Structure 1
């Protein structure tokens, strides 16, 4: 039996979450609003909802009847018991994202809906660039301090690997402004989103690295009004558990009309 590589330190992640401040969980609230908006466009009433989350108190407020499940490696979900499973803002902390989605798919009834929301690859690219450049200049090397985050195309492929039908992945970015680097990093701590890499340094980062990072950040990513710009990309995943009632692609060569006729244009042969 093979195991997914251990990228994140689960104990450190839980410790960081325990220190989070409820008033500062704006990313979680953005995710709640995103999910509610998506569900408003689905012509269906869901009666058995499960939510995988690291912050159950945030999600329980808007989904009071949902089963709330911790994002541990093995999800406490029963097979075939839910018509909607939401993986809420914790796939980017998973050592095995496709395994998490597979477990969610197994918990769905036929034609059940999976919704996932997570932070994407553009998240905090400004901070990552400033810290990497600063540490390289000051220390002559780079330490593991940035979580790997997937691009939309990559996480979209996970839906198909997990066996979900009609997969869709899309995303959008939100821009926050901070007065300085310390303010941004304090906010990340209060959101429970600080470094939990298993390979992270276990000693304090030298002050000159942060001073250089502050200078580089302001030089490259300051807003016209003097604040530091910080990007948070949110990716939303949608997929359905397989069912015979779902639309299926036509067999190649089975079309009953020519594309040129539908487009009202003249068909021409490609050169050899």
Structure 2
């Protein structure tokens, strides 16, 4: 009996010893999975961005890119987000939309800048997309919807061009799952408060999506990617109020005049681009 008990003890001790040793092994590093994933994401980011860049005109005017970039920088610096990994792109397109691509590409349509009532509304959307980037939601979604094998085929040149288009459309016009969307909403509020930006206008933006208006068709992109806007606006408000009680101080980040001047510059830039075409 003692022999059986002793053998049992030895087996249990051996198991935990082996588990302790194996747990200290960096399997990701050993198998170079992380390195391969990074390379895959970089390649996907390049491919998808190249597709959007060829389809729509990129806005490069410093008078427009500069102010938007400063908003992104403010959010990133206040939250310890590596700004060097965020690649901001502004495209001339009337759709009210912004979305993240692999490898930190953040795409903003001019339609969003023109329709946002203030800089704080835009910051709410920017924070939401930055949260998707930081949470690695983009790659998780692509792997879930298309499969890792298909993604690898895209990066190794063994792909069908239609697959790239399908994946690009997936990122720009299809919602993440409910858990990821809520996580991005909450994170955006956290980001904004730490940056001293009022998150309530972000809720106002979501309410506008829920209520609709004469330009409802323009909102289609963000409506389709952000369903249940009213419910989400409500918990953004509640969460914002609960966090503000912790002593966060917010202040205006851009005057009304400065914001309207930026919007006018966007309209002028679009007119110039249309004239060139």
**TM-score for both structures, normalised by structure 1:** 0.25
Higher relative contact order structure (alpha carbons within 8 Å, sequence separation ≥ 6): 1
**TM-score for both structures, normalised by structure 2:** 0.25
More strand by share: 1
